[in-house]
Structure 1
Amino acid sequence: MNYRFPVRVYYEDTDAAGIVYYANYFRFMERARTEWLRAMGFEQDLLRQEHGIVFVVRSAAADYRAPAKFNDLLWVTGALIENSRTAMTIEQNIYRQEDDKLLCRGEVGIVCVDIDSFRPTPIPAAILEKIKNAE
Structure 2
Amino acid sequence: MEIRVYYEDTDAGGVVYYSNYLKYFERGRTEYLRDRGFSVAEMAQRGFVFPVVHLEISYRAPALHDDLLKVETALLEIGRSSITVAQKVLRAIDGKLLVEGKVKLACVGSNMKPKRLPEEIIQALL
Both structures adopt the same fold (TM-score exceeding 0.5): yes
TM-fit CA distance, 1:14: 0.4
Q: State the Cα deviation string for residues 79-132 of structure 1 (Å, max 9, x = none).
A: 1111211001110011000100000011111001011x2111011111121111
**Alignment match, 1:123:** 117
**Alignment match, 1:52:** 47
Task: Say yes or no: does 1:9 pair with 2:5.
Answer: yes
TM-fit CA distance, 1:69: 0.4
Q: Aligned residue pairs: how many?
A: 126
Pick from 23, 42, 48: which aligns with 2:38? 42
What is the percentage of aligned positions where both structures have the same residue? 44
Using the size of structure 2 for normalisation, the TM-score is 0.96
Q: Which structure has the highest strand share of the two?
A: 1
Identify unmatched segments of 5+ residues in structure 1.
none
After TM superposition, where is structure 1 displaced by more than 3 Å over at least 4 residues in a row? none
Map residues 1-135 of structure 1 onto 2, 5 A cutoff. 5-49=1-45, 51-115=46-110, 117-132=111-126
Using the size of structure 1 for normalisation, the TM-score is 0.90
CA distance in 1, matches of 2:22, 2:100: 11
Letter in 1 for 2:123: E
Letter in 2 for 1:130: A
User: Cα RMSD over matched residues?
Assistant: 0.8
CA distance in 1, matches of 2:73, 2:28: 7
